[in-house]
Amino acid sequence: MTTILCLQELTSEQQEAVRQAAPEASIIFGRKPETEDQAFREAEIILGWDARVKSIALQEGAKLRWVQSWSSGIDSLPLDLLEERGIMLTDASGVHARSVSETAVAMMLGLSRGIAAAVRNQRTGLWESPDTLAEMNGGTVAIVGAGEIGREVARIARAFDMRVIAVRRSGGPMPEADVVYETSRLDDALREADYVVNILPLTGETQHLFHAERFAVMKRTAYFINVGRGATVRTEDLVEALNKGMIAGAGLDVFEQEPLPADHPLWAMPNVILTPHNAGGLTVRNGERLVKLFLSNLELYLSGHAADLRNLVDYKKRY
């Protein structure tokens, strides 16, 4: 009998949907201390993640064959060990596209329209406007890592009559963009952009992709938004670029070190918006989309079509 271990909190309706999708399986719901270690050893399918997956379910003799991640980013998982054990990993790519894209655009508006500065001034009753304000309308946005989230950002940007540059590893077409550049042309995109939205996953190729030289080619009036992965940016170089006025500001949801230390200089910068890695947070709709993805993949897995699972991670590419 197949054992399914659901570590994420599901509604009663969602739990029933899982039961109906796998009527012959043994299903355990809940991430609780009292969940017995034996459940991790017996689980063939795990929805979600916690430390006991690595310490128990990935050890010799365990029955794990497939993990459905609750997150789009999987760089924190033990990918080498998962690959070594021959375990399939599917991520939640695309599930958080709406919420992450809304955060990115909110940061773009908050910075360009002076809202971030106004919120800071509100605390002290300071009636002051930034020296310059910008408009998104008619501007150019470069979306670096133009997958599902990037497509959503592009769709919203088009509503602001923006020119959209998509930067993709494949260089393949994206209908929502005006032009697509391969990653080899990243610097060209940065030179043209009024807003740079980084949505890249963390891989060997993308680590510290944004560094001093990259910020140097950006417009001094441009804004840098990071809703991808923190380590794709060399933080000290970003801080220096902001201090020297090499770029106009930044909106950051992700960081090399999380939580961001309380004494980090980014906290005090007036031209920076910081959010605590919650752009892809578990909204009700995100939860619904995740369960829908899991159920779709579960049907494929149980019917013998595991190779067709959606969002199957390529361990060589690390995404």
Using CB atoms within 10 A of its CB, is residue 128 exposed (0-12), middle (13-18) or buried (19+)?
A: exposed
Q: Compute the mean pLDDT over every residue in the chain, rounded to the nearest whole number.
A: 95
Contact in structure between 174 and 225 (CB atoms under 8 Å): no
Say how many domains are in the chain.
Answer: 2
- Identify whether residues 17 and 117 lie together within a single domain: no
Which pLDDT does position 126 carry in this prediction?
96
28-55-85-309 Cα dihedral, nearest 10 degrees: 40
- Identify whether residues 72 and 206 lie together within a single domain: no
Catalytic residue among 128, 258, 285, 305: 258
Domain of 37, in residue numbers: 3-94+283-308
The answer to the question of residue 315 being in a domain is no
Which pLDDT does position 280 carry in this prediction?
87
The answer to the question of residue 296 being in a domain is yes
* CA 238/CA 242 separation, integer angstroms: 6
- Identify whether residues 70 and 212 lie together within a single domain: no
- Identify whether residues 226 and 290 lie together within a single domain: no
245: which DSSP letter?
Answer: T
Residue 285 predicted with pLDDT over 90:
no
Which pLDDT does position 179 carry in this prediction?
97
Contact in structure between 206 and 229 (CB atoms under 8 Å): yes
- Identify whether residues 142 and 81 lie together within a single domain: no
- Identify whether residues 87 and 140 lie together within a single domain: no
Which pLDDT does position 217 carry in this prediction?
98
The answer to the question of residue 318 being in a domain is no
Which pLDDT does position 33 carry in this prediction?
66
- Identify whether residues 81 and 138 lie together within a single domain: no
The answer to the question of residue 313 being in a domain is no
- Identify whether residues 125 and 164 lie together within a single domain: yes
Which pLDDT does position 169 carry in this prediction?
87
- Closest to 182 measured CA to CA, from 170, 198, 192, 190: 170
As a whole number, mean pLDDT of residues 300-313 equals: 97
Catalytic residue among 52, 168, 277, 289: 277
- Identify whether residues 193 and 303 lie together within a single domain: no
Phi-psi region of 317 (alpha: psi -120 to 50; beta: other; left: phi over 0): alpha
* CA 164/CA 50 separation, integer angstroms: 39
- Identify whether residues 87 and 128 lie together within a single domain: no
- Identify whether residues 7 and 119 lie together within a single domain: no
Q: Please, which pLDDT band fits residue 14 given cuts at 50, 70 and 90? A: very high
| pTM over the 0.85 mark | yes
- Identify whether residues 122 and 203 lie together within a single domain: yes
Residue 141 predicted with pLDDT over 70:
yes
Residue 299 predicted with pLDDT over 80:
yes
Residue 226 predicted with pLDDT over 70:
yes
Active site residue 264: no
Catalytic residue among 52, 214, 229, 234: 229
Both tokens of 246, joined, read 């090499």
19-47 confidence digits (pLDDT tens): 999 999 999 998 766 678 999 999 999 99
Residue 188 predicted with pLDDT over 80:
yes
- Closest to 217 measured CA to CA, from 184, 183, 191: 191
Both tokens of 15, joined, read 């739990």
Q: What share of the chain in percent tops pLDDT 90?
A: 87
Q: Which residue has the tokens 């790519």?
A: 93
Active site residue 229: yes
As a whole number, mean pLDDT of residues 148-177 equals: 94
CATH code: domain of residue 179: 3.40.50.720
